[in-house]
Structure 1
Amino acid sequence: MRAGLVRNVRSGEHLTTFVVSGVATVLITRLILSLSGYPQIGGKGLHIAHVLPGGILMLVAISLLLGYVGPVVRPAAALVGGVGFGLFIDEVGKFVTSDNNYFYKPTAAIVYVVFVLIVLGSRFLSTRRPIDPREELANVIDHTVEGVAGGLSRQRKAQASELLGLVGPRVRGRREAAALLEACPSDEVELAAPVDAAWRWLQRTFERVATHPKAPTVAVVVLAVQAVGAPLIAVSVGSGLAQLSVSGVIVGSLLSATFTVRGWRQLRRARRLRAVRLFELAVLVSLLMTQVFQFAGTQFAAAGGMLLDLVLLGLLRAERDRLQREEELAKTTPAATTPLGLPPDPAAPRFPEDPSDPVL
Structure 2
Amino acid sequence: MRAGMVRNVRSGEHLTTFVVSGVATVLITRLILSLSGYPQIGGKGLHIAHVLPGGLLMLIAISLLLGYVGPVVRPAAATIGGIGFGLFIDEVGKFVTSDNNYFYKPTAAIVYIVFVLIVLGFRFLATRRPIDPREELANVIDHAVEGVAGGLSHRRRAEASELLRTVSPEVQGRRETAELLAACPADEVELAAPVDAAWQALQRGFERLATHPKAPRIAVAVLAIQAVGELVIAAVLGNGLNHLPVLGVTAGSLLSATFTVRGALALRKGNRARAVRLFELAVLVSLLMTQVFQFAATQFAAAGGMLLDLVMLGLLRAERERMRVALDAAAKARAQGLPPSPEGPV
- Interval of TM-score (by shorter of Structure 1 and Structure 2): over 0.9
* In structure 1, distance between residues paired with 2:212 and 2:326: 16
Q: Which residue does 1:336 correspond to in 2?
A: 338
Q: Which residue does 1:57 correspond to in 2?
A: 57
- Which sections of structure 2, spanning at least 5 residues, go unmatched? none
Deviations along 1:258-306, one digit per CA (max 9) or x if unpaired, are 1111111111111111111111110010001001100000011110000
* In structure 1, distance between residues paired with 2:273 and 2:81: 35
* In structure 1, distance between residues paired with 2:299 and 2:138: 44
Q: Where has structure 1 moved over 6 Å in runs of 4 or more?
A: none
* In structure 2, distance between residues paired with 1:158 and 1:256: 41
- Which sections of structure 1, spanning at least 5 residues, go unmatched? 340-350, 352-360
* In structure 1, distance between residues paired with 2:134 and 2:278: 33
Are residues 1:175 and 2:172 paired? no
Deviations along 1:125-174, one digit per CA (max 9) or x if unpaired, are 11111111000000000000000000000000000000000000100000
1:35: how far off? 0.4
* In structure 1, distance between residues paired with 2:340 and 2:118: 46
* In structure 2, distance between residues paired with 1:336 and 1:212: 27
Q: Conserved in 1, the CA contact under 8 Å of 2:333 and 2:340?
A: no
Are residues 1:209 and 2:209 paired? yes
* In structure 2, distance between residues paired with 1:79 and 1:246: 34
Q: Which residue does 1:286 correspond to in 2?
A: 286
* In structure 2, distance between residues paired with 1:318 and 1:152: 28
* In structure 2, distance between residues paired with 1:211 and 1:167: 31
Q: Which residue does 1:147 correspond to in 2?
A: 147
Cα gap change, 1:338 to 1:105, in 2 (>3 Å)? closer
Deviations along 1:100-148, one digit per CA (max 9) or x if unpaired, are 0000000000000000000001111111111110000000000000000
Match of 1:190, SS state, is: coil
* In structure 1, distance between residues paired with 2:127 and 2:154: 30
1:249: how far off? 0.2
Equivalent residues in 2 for 1:1-360, closer than 5 Å:
1-334=1-334, 335-338=337-340
Match of 1:49, SS state, is: coil
1:190: how far off? 1.3
* In structure 2, distance between residues paired with 1:269 and 1:74: 44
* In structure 2, distance between residues paired with 1:154 and 1:270: 41
Deviations along 1:1-32, one digit per CA (max 9) or x if unpaired, are 10000000000000000000100000000000
Deviations along 1:200-245, one digit per CA (max 9) or x if unpaired, are 1111111001000001110100000001111111111222322210
* In structure 1, distance between residues paired with 2:93 and 2:9: 35
Q: Which residue does 1:342 correspond to in 2?
A: none
Q: Conserved in 1, the CA contact under 8 Å of 2:246 and 2:293?
A: yes
Cα gap change, 1:43 to 1:179, in 2 (>3 Å)? same
Match of 1:241, SS state, is: coil
* In structure 1, distance between residues paired with 2:297 and 2:286: 15
* In structure 1, distance between residues paired with 2:33 and 2:43: 18
1:332: how far off? 2.0
* In structure 2, distance between residues paired with 1:121 and 1:333: 39
* In structure 2, distance between residues paired with 1:286 and 1:24: 19
Match of 2:97, SS state, is: coil
Cα gap change, 1:198 to 1:142, in 2 (>3 Å)? same
- Name the amino acid aligned to 2:76: A
* In structure 1, distance between residues paired with 2:68 and 2:279: 41
- Name the amino acid aligned to 1:187: D
Cα RMSD, aligned residues only: 1.1
* In structure 2, distance between residues paired with 1:264 and 1:307: 22
- Name the amino acid aligned to 2:260: T
Q: Conserved in 1, the CA contact under 8 Å of 2:148 and 2:185?
A: yes
* In structure 1, distance between residues paired with 2:339 and 2:109: 50
* In structure 1, distance between residues paired with 2:169 and 2:285: 41
1:338: how far off? 5.0
Number of aligned positions between the proteins: 340
* In structure 1, distance between residues paired with 2:306 and 2:22: 14
* In structure 2, distance between residues paired with 1:17 and 1:338: 38
* In structure 2, distance between residues paired with 1:177 and 1:219: 45
* In structure 1, distance between residues paired with 2:265 and 2:166: 36
% identical aligned pairs: 79
* In structure 2, distance between residues paired with 1:252 and 1:39: 38
